[in-house]
Structure 1
């Protein structure tokens, strides 16, 4: 597989993180790749499954969905952290630009996305967004809370073990929580912090996005006109962080993040980012400041595993949710989630059911009254999944 093909499939799958693997196979890229991976922050967060103790099995939860080992499932996390990848506090001027408050802010996970790459080249890869306010069972015996607190709760509980150890505990608990919610087994972990996200968008020369309507939000600082535009740096971060002023709050923000990743993939490929030495240098610098990967992830092998995967075979979607204003005992308003529905949804993505026959005319009863298929109506009412080969307009 040549370098151009590797670049295409990689940038349309895991964007900036896996672009490190691209560097390993592009002309003159090996030295840069080795330098980057040597300086990249890693953590031992993937706990191997055992026959007696699968990661995702808790309480009365069903046995988790498991695909063959060659399938790869990655948890991509955007951390609302006021530190860099090495744990150093961000400078005051950076925090002010990010409108991120104090450097001692909580390390909640703002963005969580599970990316599943199948071994079978005939099947589509998918990226499932997990809204941060989803009200779920938190692993580790912490009870039912918002999903974005799984990391911080375990980290705080292990604070006496030291900063490094407690951070590892937080990441492992988030992984375990998502394992049990989705029924998937997380094979790899990639985490990016606030400042690093903005730096990566600078490195690629900005990301194309499109808004259906103009927005102005004092909380995130988002202030953008309607229509297509290119964002980078702090503005890009404001775009993906906004949730106030959006009709569906966190769910609309998830949609924004999916569209942004599709735009980032498009930018990196169409603009020749991975064939531009200066862009590569800037990207590697941003990655080493911002990204944490699980220890032992062989990015080179992963790039080769992607085979013939292309952008039109990658689908962005969101777990099924209920009420977006669910009242909770201690966490305020949350997003309602049914774990059984989530696992069934994931199973359908792994093994899509056969398409039903197309009905040319609506069904009717004996009196000629049209019978409404409520499930179909609901599917039509929901937003369509975002395809990685396009840059959709979003709210």
Structure 2
């Protein structure tokens, strides 16, 4: 569990749906500096929220949706009243990040799950890797991603490099071309990875129940949960929710420069309002841009 976690920052579950804040932390705790993939993880002190997602699980596990919040969104931090990037709130605790999301977007957070880089790799390894398809030869010199064209089975290290890379390039017509959408493309790759990983994990569990032990062992070593979360109960309803289809969303945003900071500002659009209302708990599920069948 989190140390010094203020559970009062979490909303009580008072309806049929539950919102989970999923944090992909760039904490290096547990990284072996001599491991072959240490360069992928890097050497950065402290911690930041490298990935921020809100998972909404519907009543009794009847469906699920993910809202990815770009780490560069410019928001007002709940504890200080200062405007900063959203990922900086995590420096002062997962509870501060949860409170900031609620204050900024009106989304109640019922539970928090934090996974670090080491945990990410171990969970991927526990399901035997994840298959990602690449149209072109692909690399990311920053994260260490290197993949030939085709549908390739990624191990934990390459899956991490795929999900967190910010210098994604494809070899087209003899030239390396950088993916033009920058961090937005990274968010979409993370969502794509999550949908595929969940689908493969469910298929693996159905065909080989012994995988459960490996997943539980990996999760126990790598996940940090808020004090109110019962992992066994949550796992049962989430498994059902993922099996019925996972809808994914992002917020429309525009780039801006504020006090020398390159940031993103969420737009006041009907599309954003519809998405936020759904995750707030008083709107219908919008037509998602992407859905993976159960």
Same-fold call, TM cutoff 0.5: yes
Alignment partner of 1:223 out of 126, 138, 146: 146
Per the alignment, residue 247 of structure 1 pairs with 180
Secondary structure of 2:225's counterpart equals strand
| Matching of residues 150-299 of structure 1 within 5 Å | 150-152=89-91, 154=92, 170-244=93-167, 245-272=178-205, 275-277=208-210, 279-299=211-231
CA distance in 1, matches of 2:42, 2:192: 27
Per the alignment, residue 388 of structure 1 pairs with 292
Per the alignment, residue 320 of structure 1 pairs with 252
Per the alignment, residue 7 of structure 2 pairs with 47
1:76-117 alpha-carbon deviations (Å, 9 max, x no partner) = 010011114xxxxx2212485243332x52311111100111
How has the CA–CA distance of structure 1 residues 118 and 219 changed in structure 2, closer, same or farther, with 3 Å as cutoff?
same
How many residues align structurally? 281
Q: Is the 8 A contact 1:183 1:343 kept in 2?
A: no
Per the alignment, residue 139 of structure 1 pairs with 78
Q: Is the 8 A contact 2:114 2:224 kept in 1?
A: yes
Q: How far apart are residue 243 of structure 1 and its match?
A: 1.8
The answer to whether the aligner puts 1:111 opposite 2:51 as a matched pair is yes
How has the CA–CA distance of structure 1 residues 125 and 294 changed in structure 2, closer, same or farther, with 3 Å as cutoff?
same
Any stretches of 5+ residues in structure 2 without a counterpart? Answer: 168-177
How has the CA–CA distance of structure 1 residues 200 and 145 changed in structure 2, closer, same or farther, with 3 Å as cutoff?
same
Secondary structure of 2:53's counterpart equals strand
Q: How far apart are residue 330 of structure 1 and its match?
A: 4.1
Secondary structure of 2:108's counterpart equals coil
The answer to whether the aligner puts 1:345 opposite 2:275 as a matched pair is yes
Q: Is the 8 A contact 1:43 1:293 kept in 2?
A: no
Q: How far apart are residue 118 of structure 1 and its match?
A: 2.2
Alignment partner of 1:301 out of 220, 233, 241: 233
> Is the deviation greater in 216-225 or in 248-257?
216-225
Q: How far apart are residue 286 of structure 1 and its match?
A: 1.8
How has the CA–CA distance of structure 1 residues 125 and 226 changed in structure 2, closer, same or farther, with 3 Å as cutoff?
same
When the two chains are superposed, the root-mean-square deviation of aligned CA atoms in Å is: 3.0
Q: How far apart are residue 322 of structure 1 and its match?
A: 1.9
Any stretches of 5+ residues in structure 1 without a counterpart? Answer: 1-40, 50-54, 57-65, 85-89, 155-169, 356-383, 391-395
How has the CA–CA distance of structure 1 residues 353 and 176 changed in structure 2, closer, same or farther, with 3 Å as cutoff?
closer
Secondary structure of 1:296's counterpart equals coil
Per the alignment, residue 32 of structure 2 pairs with 91
Secondary structure of 1:210's counterpart equals strand
Q: How far apart are residue 226 of structure 1 and its match?
A: 3.0
CA distance in 2, matches of 1:201, 1:353: 29
Q: How far apart are residue 329 of structure 1 and its match?
A: 0.7
| Matching of residues 346-361 of structure 1 within 5 Å | 346-348=276-278, 350=281, 351-352=283-284
The TM-score with structure 1 as length reference comes to: 0.63
Q: Is the 8 A contact 1:181 1:339 kept in 2?
A: no
Larger Rg: 1
CA distance in 2, matches of 1:44, 1:273: 38
Secondary structure of 1:228's counterpart equals strand
CA distance in 2, matches of 1:226, 1:99: 21
How has the CA–CA distance of structure 1 residues 98 and 188 changed in structure 2, closer, same or farther, with 3 Å as cutoff?
farther
Q: How far apart are residue 354 of structure 1 and its match?
A: 9.5
Secondary structure of 2:98's counterpart equals helix
> Is the deviation greater in 171-180 or in 283-292?
283-292
Larger proportion of strand: 2
The answer to whether the aligner puts 1:125 opposite 2:87 as a matched pair is no
